[in-house]
């Protein structure tokens, strides 16, 4: 691991203790980035630890296999507060990290409390979203975000993964002087074109060679706006029947039932596959002919970057940094506009008919050149070490 980063860093670095604090280690976008960052910093010689609220996330094993200690606090649920806080305070008091790095809203808030018992630690926040429609979530999400905004000025450094996220945070009172943008890193060694994997997954889905597979990859969450994707698809199948729409990701069963009902109402059920969560995501991307991101709120979409690393073209909504990620290699449409989304999907499907076999790797190359994991790791390391130098 250390050898793979040799061209990115100076050998005059200072190795420090870094503790990440996060809710879970499930296979979500933020969690995947945390793992990539933790492994990268560990590979650069830093003493990295991860403290997690809930046990048994699949990425926990990945960290342990890389030699990174994981402390599970075994939080019992939303209202398991006092015992959870006691365990958390005990762990941080014992570790006394030079850097305490929160990931997402609740861990960020808790780092400010933990500063009291570990005053020598620099507090770093990870902010991963933009343009959140809080009306789509329960009261606790709205309250917690207001608390996060109020406490942001007490952090030492806030790392945002998109320019859109930076602007959103600034509009909500975050301190500009303590903020920096570091885009996500995509593992281009893992995510790459693979024709063998493509055939296996399509066979599992029951999608033939002459059928177009259009995918939406993301958790079942209102912000991903599956409803707009379904409406665009229902309009498209009036013009062509050689398309199947694949929703990859899990979420609340009640929300999935709503989406299934919408498919039924629009007479699109026969064209949709709700595939659930997938373990082998590179194979999933390779099985697609086109990826769609219909979100109305994003920071940096891992799904877009990962699909492009597999050389899959994308249609994305103009939210977060999605336009910046795809560059000239995809179509960008307004959010919450099914007709515009349908038109873009149709145009790109028509284009893939003639270009899939001969488009080279220019889509993939944009990710390799601009959004690599080593770039993210070294930029983060530089920011963390600079924070330690400040009085």
User: For the chain, how many residues are written?
Assistant: 391
Domain ranges across the chain: 3-185+372-389, 195-370
5-14, 114-123, 219-228: the lowest-pLDDT one? 5-14
pLDDT single digits (tens) 58-81: 999 999 999 999 999 999 888 889
- Neighbour tally for 51: CB within 10 Å: 23
Q: What is the mean pLDDT of the chain?
A: 92
Q: Which two tokens stand for residue 20?
A: 């990440």
Kindly state the percentage of the chain with pLDDT values over 70: 93
Q: Would the pLDDT of 3 be above 60?
A: no
Q: How many CA atoms lie within 13 A of 16 on its CB side?
A: 24
- Specify the CATH class of 3-185+372-389 in words: alpha beta
Same fold, 3-185+372-389 and 195-370: yes
Q: Which residue has the tokens 């200072």?
A: 14
**Tokens at residue 259, please?**
């989406």
Range 195-370 has CATH code 3.40.50.2000: yes
Residue 354 clears pLDDT 70, i.e. is over it: no
Tokens matching residue 153:
């000025």
133: its two tokens: 């429609």
Q: What is the maximum span of the chain, computed from C-alpha positions, in angstroms?
A: 64
The residue-averaged pLDDT of 225-241 equals 97
Q: How confident is the model at residue 211 (pLDDT cuts 50, 70, 90)?
A: very high
For residue 197, give the H/E element and its range. Answer: helix 195-205
């Amino acid at each position: 691991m250390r050898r793979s980063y040799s061209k990115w860093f100076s050998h005059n670095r200072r190795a420090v203790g870094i503790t990440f604090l996060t809710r879970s280690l499930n296979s979500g976008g933020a969690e995947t980035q945390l793992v990539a960052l933790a492994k990268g910093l560990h590979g650069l010689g830093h003493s990295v630890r991860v403290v997690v609220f809930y046990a048994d996330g699949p990425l926990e094993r990945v960290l342990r296999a890389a030699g990174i200690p994981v402390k599970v606090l075994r939080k019992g649920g939303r209202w398991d507060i006092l015992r959870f806080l006691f365990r958390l305070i005990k762990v941080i008091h014992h570790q006394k990290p030079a850097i305490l790095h929160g990931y997402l809203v609740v861990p960020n808030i808790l780092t400010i409390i933990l500063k009291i018992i570990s005053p020598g630690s620099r507090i770093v926040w990870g902010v991963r979203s933009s343009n959140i429609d809080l009306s789509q979530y329960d009261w606790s999400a709205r309250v917690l975000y207001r608390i996060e905004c109020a406490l942001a000025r007490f952090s030492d450094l806030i790392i945002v993964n998109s320019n859109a996220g930076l602007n959103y945070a600034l509009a909500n009172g975050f301190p500009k002087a303590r903020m920096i943008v570091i885009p996500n890193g995509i593992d281009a060694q893992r995510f790459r074109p693979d024709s063998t994997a493509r055939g296996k997954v399509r066979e599992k889905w029951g999608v033939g060679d002459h059928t177009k597979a259009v995918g939406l990859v993301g958790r079942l969450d209102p912000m991903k706006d599956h409803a707009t994707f379904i409406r665009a698809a229902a309009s498209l199948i009036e013009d062509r029947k050689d398309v199947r729409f694949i929703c990859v990701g899990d979420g609340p069963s009640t929300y999935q039932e709503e989406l299934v009902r919408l498919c039924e109402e629009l007479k699109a059920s026969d064209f949709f596959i709700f595939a659930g969560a997938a373990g082998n995501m590179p194979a999933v991307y390779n099985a697609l002919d086109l990826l769609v991101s219909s979100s109305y709120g994003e920071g940096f979409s891992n799904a877009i970057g990962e699909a492009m690393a597999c050389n899959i073209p994308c249609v994305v909504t103009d939210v977060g940094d999605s336009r910046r990620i795809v560059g000239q290699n995809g179509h960008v449409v307004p959010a919450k506009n099914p007709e515009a989304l349908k038109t873009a999907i149709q145009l790109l499907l028509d284009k893939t008919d003639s270009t899939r076999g001969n488009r080279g790797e220019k889509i993939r190359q944009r990710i390799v050149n601009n959004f690599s994991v080593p770039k993210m790791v070294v930029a983060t390391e530089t920011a963390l070490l600079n924070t330690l130098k400040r009085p």
